[in-house]
Each structure stands twice: as structure tokens, then as C-alpha cells.
Structure 1
Amino acid sequence: MAEPLRLFILAGEASGDRLGADLVRRLGQRLPVQLSGVGGAELEAEGLASMFPMSDLAVMGWSDVLRRLPLLLWRVRQVARAIVRSRPDIVVLIDSQVFSKAVAQRVRRAGVVVPTILYVAPTVWAWRPERAPALRPLFDEVLAILPFEPAAMAGLDGPPTHFVGHPAVARFPGRPAQPERGPLLLLPGSRRGELRRHLPLMRAAVEQFRDHPRVTGFAIPTLDHLLPSLRREVAHWPAPVTLVTGEERRSAWDAAIAAFAVSGTVTLELAMTGIPMVVAYVADPHQARQYDKLGRKVTLALPSIIRGSNVVRELQLRSSAGPFDLSALSALLDDPAAIPAQLAAFAEVRALMQKGAPEAPLADVVDRVLAHAPQRLLIGS
């Protein structure tokens, strides 16, 4: 039997877990893969025995980081020691930018030379561009999921970067038609801090749109481990909310009239499916101060970032206390031109994601990872 590729992979949240599982499946079609690292249900289904629960890393915003700093520092040391001890053939660290950088720094300081790949580029093009050159000593390559990021990283003197697309393009082929009526999807995120800050906003949407003629109900697609806490949360909301997991999620997406979603990978998945949306983000106090220092609005919705124009209206807030102005959601549901315009823009986003930019065409993610594999493993693969 052929010698396996010893891959250490780390994902710190649900979107990274999906990216990692897709990568592992596709690698397994080329050669045997022996996994170690950290991940969630998707990577575990591909054979990973996670070192610890992925939820330990699922933090968002500085306030969340500070609350859990001792645990996070311990996990950094634990992951770095595991890499140093096992000397895998390749390390792939998926997103979780601060954690991934800290792990890579500790491994490099230990003098261990292991090809290390960062999967999902940091947003150096929007925030703190000086981070780009600081990544060069830590990562042999960055795999970008947005088509303009390789050029942006090169212009900022960052590590070699290739656009590898996103599995959402294939996983979400698009709905055959936009319904006239249906449930409103509420997507408050999956990390503790996200939920704490965004659930009051989602409740306000239920209150305001429970009698809207185009909204037949409300659904929160979520993860199994969040069901108990979300059931308690929505039990006393002003209208019934259905919690959906697993295969039920696809049915809910197919039926939805629109979505009210926290910024993140889910906005790309919604765009690929063809679900109109409004994007929301409630910043923690530290993030709010940093945004204010920029002196300009930061675009958060991935479809708008990819297309380079305001495809999706955004509700950016500094507090979860309310009251909330949900006029953007009203406009989406009430303006006859709003939904068709979004769907046409989403088609352009899909085309960009399928081809890449002229200077950075789409590369195969497996090819890019295997470019760093020991030659002995590639003979005959």
C-alpha cells in the first residue's frame, strides 16, 4: 500500500471545518491521507480524531478573546507541540487568523521546518496591511478564497498566494426559482460571541416581520451542539422559530424568501444558492473603536467584496442593545426591483468565483497543497 500523506489540519469554526473536509476528501482521491489536528463534525466524518473540541477556538472579537485567553494560549502551545513532535508532511491551518499565526510562530521558533499553508487569506487589503509581510516567514503559501486576494497580497509583499475558489460554488448550485413567499432565514452565527451579540437583533426581526405578507415563518439553520441553548433562547420570542440542522437545512434554504445573516462565509453560500439577503454585524467595543479609527465604512458582505460594489445592504451596529433600524430588510422585501437586482449580481459573483481574476486564475486546491508534499509520496499519485 502507498505511503500516506501525513497531514496536520486545523479548523477553528464551522466554515473552516467545511473547507477542511472538502480538502481532505479531494486529497484522498489522489493518495492516502493520515490525519491529525483539530476540527469539527465535518472533518471528523473524514477520519480526523480532533485533539480537542473545535468550539474552544470559536471566538470572535477581542472581548471574546480576552475572556478565554488562558485557554487559547494553552491550545496554541498544545497544537504547536503536537506539530513539532509529529513532524507531519504538511500543515494546513484554516482561517482562525490570530490563532494560526501564533501556532506558526511557535513552530518556527522551535526550528522545525514543516511546509505550512494558511488556507483563507487574512483581510490585509482592508485592515492593517502591514500584516502581509509579517506572514512571509510563517507561511509557505496562502490559499485565497477570493479572486482578487493574490494580487492584493503580492502588492503588499505577503507570502505566495493562489486563488483556489470555494467549495460553496459546487455545493450550492443555485435554486431553480425565487419564491414569492416563504420563511425568513435567520443566521446569527455559530460562535458564542456572535450569538450573544446578534440574537437580540434576530429577535427584533421576528417581532417586526411576523405579520409581513411575504414571510411565512422563521427558521434558524444551526449546528447540533447549539440546539439546546437556541431552543431556550427562542422559546419566548414573539413568533415561533424553527431550528433546523442536517439535511433539513437544505429544505429551509430552498423555501426561504430571504435571509438576515451575520457577515461571514455564509453570505457567499447564500449568494451561490440565490437567496436574497441583508447582512448584519454587531461589533464588540474593541472592533468598534478600530473601525472608527479607519475613518471609513468597511464592507463586510462577501458578495459585495468580490464584485466590488454594494450588492448587499449591510446593517453595521456598535451595540446589541437596540432599538434596531431594520429598514434595509423592509426594502429588500417590499421593493419589487430589489430581489431581482441582487440575484443578477449573485450570478456575476458566481462567474468570478468559477474563473478567478485574469492575473490569478482559479487553481486547484489539491494541486497547491501537494506542491509542498515530499516527492516520495507523489510518484504514481
Structure 2
Amino acid sequence: MANQTSQQLQVALVAGETSGDLLAGLLLDGLREQWPLMTAVGIGGPQMARRGLVAWWGHDKLSVHGFGWEVLRRYREIVGIRRQLKTRLLRQQPDVFIGVDAPDFNLDLERDLKAKGIKTVHFVSPSIWAWRPERVEKIRRSVDHVLCIFPFEPALLARHGIAATYVGHPLANVIPMEPDRSAARAALGLADEDQVVAILPGSRQSEINHLALRFFQAAALINKAHPAIKFIVPAIPAVRAGIEHAARASGMQAHLQIIAGQSHTVLAACDVTLIASGTATLEAALFKRPMVIAYRMAWLSWQIMRRKQLQPWVGLPNILCREFVVPELLQEAATAQALADAVLLWIDAKASHPAKIAALQQKFTALHAELQRDTPRLAAHAIQQVLQG
């Protein structure tokens, strides 16, 4: 406890992709307030680096998609990184290790570190309520505490003897309850009267490979029905080349405004979004935007996932609302025509059925309020209790 009393903390973290990097960055804010002289090492991205993380590897090294060949061809590299990381952490003996999401990588690492006496915390409960319930035993063996971002998770974990704390979803505090649509449009060079569709085909190259061309083909059909519609595509640097390639292949490059990042500005500005299933769908819900959720993956990965799925929903807004509040088009159902038709229904509803959009926005506002907590402070307090325990 010497580190704690001297206001120092040695923490190691691993975040495996863009969404985890964002969550970990916010967590580091809370830790830094509690322990001003904190040092942080591990695996992460730019958001964590801005908060002082010394990154031994970039988070893109762990970004992998699916269950089949996509995983197998990178298995050796990822296992090698985990082995090297474990060796360094056992030598350095941090006060606490925090695995941020990425359960396939982090849980095994956490198990090994915990067995050697290092405190372990997992931030973002694995979705045992959605699929792969067999993970609960691994969680119990691997972690001292779970930081949960959804309110129903601590009680579920407690039934299995796993200590957990609901800390809210950090994005609920980052995204304003009432987004400034006009300011966002001005920042993107759009007029208030423009009809705007945001296209977010994912943040991983494998998602771009499976979705981007199909999304842009859908945009071409939407453009044919409504030539004045503006299409905005936020792209992080790692996948921008793939997005631009898909734009050219679809013949839509002249109609797509591809911008560097700024996904929050794009979601604030749009009327509706065509979006890949994942954390971005929750961001769209917090921006109170109608959406069409889609996803495609390799055939083998899809077969495995479908057999392990426990709920009828895949998109986070639908899971949290416990109903299909927005459409989901998955795998073979995600044709360009079906995607275009679903987006056009939202566009037409703005004029013909505004009550439908108002009802959706009301549900998303209630969801936003439920997820809004002082996440950095609550998370830092829970970690302090783990250290004292």
C-alpha cells in the first residue's frame, strides 16, 4: 500500500481496439485524479497515449475479427505478444492490471497475473448475457473485480460469485444529452436544410472488407431515389485506404464526403446513419439518431456466432431497449437493396411519420439518462477498493 499512500500508482492496461482505447482513456482520467503521480504501461492507442500511457505495443496489434481464418492467421503473433507482455508485467509487478474489453486476449492474461498475486480488474463485462455464457467461469478465475457499463450486469455476475460495480457508460457523459446539430453541420460544411446520411462501415479492416462496398452500393440506390442527399463517411487512418477503395469500386466516390475521424460530429449532424454493429451503434443512440444496423463476417465465423447467440438482438440499442427499435440486417440479409430500403424508410418518416422518429428519440433519451454516471470517479473508487482488499 506504499504506492497508494504516496499518491502513486503503477497500473498496466490493455485495450485492443478503437472503442477500448476511448474507454481506457476516460478511465485513466479518473485514475489520474485519484493518483496524480500514476504511471501507466501496456497496450493502447492515441487516447491512452494522451493520458500518459507508455505503449509497449499499439492497440491495432490486437484488432482481429471473427472466429475462423481471420483469427488463425494472426494467432501466433497475438499469442507471442501476450507471452512477452506477461513476462514484462511479472517482472515489473504493477499494483493493478486493467484489461479493457478484448476478453479473448485479456482474460487469459488476467488469470495468469492473478495467480501470481497481481490485482486484476476487467473493464467492460464480457457479454455473457448475449452469447458465450460459458465464459463466466473464466471470468471468476481471472479477475478480482469487473467494472460494468450496463446497469443489469453486476447482479448477473454476483449470481456467479464475481464482484462487480456498475460505473455507467463513459460515452453517456462524453455525448451531450441534446446534441448541437446545427453546429455539427456547420463544422462539416453542411446546411441546416440538407438531408444527411452518415455511413459508418466499421473501425477494423475486416469490417471494411465485408461491409464498406455493400454500404456504398446501398448509398448509390439511395442517391438514385434522393439525388440531393449528402453522404458523410468518417474514417480513422487505419482503414481509410480500404474505405476509399470501396468508394471507387462502388462508383460513389464523387458523392461521398470521406473525412478523417470526427465520427461524433458526423453522428450529431446526420438525419440517419447506416452503421456497422458495435459500440458505434450505442454512440448513434446517444446522439438520438435513427439508424440501420448491419453486419457481415466470414461464413464460418457467422455459423459459430449464431449458435452461441442468446438473444434475438445483435445491435446494442436493441439489446438495451429489449426490442427492435431500429432494424438489423445481418449476413445474407444485408444486401445493398435491403440496406437502402431501410434507410429510405427513416428518411421518408421524417416527413410522413415524425411521431415515429420522436418516439425513437424518447427511448434513446431515457437510455442516455440510465447510462449517465460519473464513470471515471466510480471506476477509480472501485479500483481503490480492490487495492485495499
Same fold? TM cut 0.5: yes
TM-score by length of 2: 0.86
Using the alignment, how far apart are the partners of 2:310 and 2:10 within structure 1? 45
Q: Say whether residues 1:316 and 2:330 are aligned partners.
A: yes
**Do the aligned residues in 2 keep the contact of 1:209 with 1:215 (CA within 8 Å)?**
no
Structure 1 99/362 Cα, relative in aligned 2: closer, same or farther at 3 Å?
closer
Pairwise CA distance, 1:200: 2.4
Partner of 2:270: 256
Pairwise CA distance, 1:297: 5.8
Unmatched 5+ residue regions in structure 2? 183-191
Pairwise CA distance, 1:182: 2.8
Pairwise CA distance, 1:257: 1.2
Pairwise CA distance, 1:195: 1.4
Partner of 1:349: 367
Partner of 1:76: 82
**SS of alignment partner, residue 62 of structure 1:** coil
Structure 1 362/205 Cα, relative in aligned 2: closer, same or farther at 3 Å?
same
Structure 2 counterpart of 1:166, from 169, 176, 182: 169
Pairwise CA distance, 1:185: 0.9
Pairwise CA distance, 1:338: 3.5
TM-score by length of 1: 0.88
Q: Say whether residues 1:184 and 2:197 are aligned partners.
A: yes
Structure 1 55/323 Cα, relative in aligned 2: closer, same or farther at 3 Å?
same
Using the alignment, how far apart are the partners of 1:182 and 1:217 within structure 2? 6
Q: Say whether residues 1:97 and 2:103 are aligned partners.
A: yes
Pairwise CA distance, 1:231: 2.6
Structure 1 counterpart of 2:10, from 6, 23, 38: 6
For residue 258 of structure 2, what is the amino acid of its counterpart?
L
Structure 1 158/285 Cα, relative in aligned 2: closer, same or farther at 3 Å?
farther
Q: Which deviates further from its counterpart, 251-260 or 115-124?
A: 251-260
Using the alignment, how far apart are the partners of 1:8 and 1:371 within structure 2? 17
Pairwise CA distance, 1:288: 2.1
CA deviation vs aligned residue, 1:124-163 (integer Å, no higher than 9, x gap)? 11213222123111100111111111122223x1521211
Structure 1 204/102 Cα, relative in aligned 2: closer, same or farther at 3 Å?
same
Partner of 2:238: 225
Using the alignment, how far apart are the partners of 2:385 and 2:201 within structure 1? 38
For residue 63 of structure 2, what is the amino acid of its counterpart?
A
Partner of 1:379: none
Structure 2 counterpart of 1:49, from 48, 54, 60: 54
Pairwise CA distance, 1:212: 4.2
CA deviation vs aligned residue, 1:234-284 (integer Å, no higher than 9, x gap)? 2343332222225x4444333211111111111111111122111111133
Using the alignment, how far apart are the partners of 1:364 and 1:215 within structure 2? 46
Partner of 1:16: 20
For residue 279 of structure 1, what is the amino acid of its counterpart?
I
Q: Say whether residues 1:330 and 2:335 are aligned partners.
A: no
Aligned-residue Cα RMSD (Å) equals 2.7
Q: Which deviates further from its counterpart, 122-131 or 13-22?
A: 122-131
For residue 91 of structure 1, what is the amino acid of its counterpart?
F
Pairwise CA distance, 1:122: 0.8
Using the alignment, how far apart are the partners of 1:300 and 1:280 within structure 2? 9
**Do the aligned residues in 1 keep the contact of 2:179 with 2:287 (CA within 8 Å)?**
yes
**Do the aligned residues in 1 keep the contact of 2:145 with 2:386 (CA within 8 Å)?**
no
Structure 1 counterpart of 2:134, from 130, 136, 141: 130
Pairwise CA distance, 1:207: 1.4
Unmatched 5+ residue regions in structure 1? 376-381
Structure 1 counterpart of 2:149, from 145, 149, 160: 145
For residue 370 of structure 1, what is the amino acid of its counterpart?
Q
Using the alignment, how far apart are the partners of 2:93 and 2:16 within structure 1? 21
**SS of alignment partner, residue 283 of structure 1:** coil
Q: Say whether residues 1:115 and 2:119 are aligned partners.
A: yes
**SS of alignment partner, residue 190 of structure 1:** coil
Using the alignment, how far apart are the partners of 2:232 and 2:330 within structure 1? 22
Using the alignment, how far apart are the partners of 2:309 and 2:125 within structure 1? 24
Structure 1 215/259 Cα, relative in aligned 2: closer, same or farther at 3 Å?
farther
Structure 1 324/85 Cα, relative in aligned 2: closer, same or farther at 3 Å?
farther
**SS of alignment partner, residue 162 of structure 1:** strand
Structure 2 counterpart of 1:245, from 260, 271, 286: 260
Q: Say whether residues 1:340 and 2:358 are aligned partners.
A: yes
Q: Map of 1:342-381 to 2, 5 A cutoff?
A: 342-354=360-372, 364-373=378-387
- Number of positions where the alignment pairs a residue of Structure 1 with one of Structure 2: 366
Pairwise CA distance, 1:215: 6.0
Partner of 1:35: 40
Structure 1 134/261 Cα, relative in aligned 2: closer, same or farther at 3 Å?
same
**Do the aligned residues in 2 keep the contact of 1:307 with 1:348 (CA within 8 Å)?**
no
For residue 37 of structure 1, what is the amino acid of its counterpart?
G
**Do the aligned residues in 1 keep the contact of 2:130 with 2:310 (CA within 8 Å)?**
no
Using the alignment, how far apart are the partners of 2:201 and 2:93 within structure 1? 38
**Do the aligned residues in 1 keep the contact of 2:13 with 2:98 (CA within 8 Å)?**
yes
**Do the aligned residues in 2 keep the contact of 1:144 with 1:163 (CA within 8 Å)?**
yes
Using the alignment, how far apart are the partners of 1:250 and 1:291 within structure 2? 29
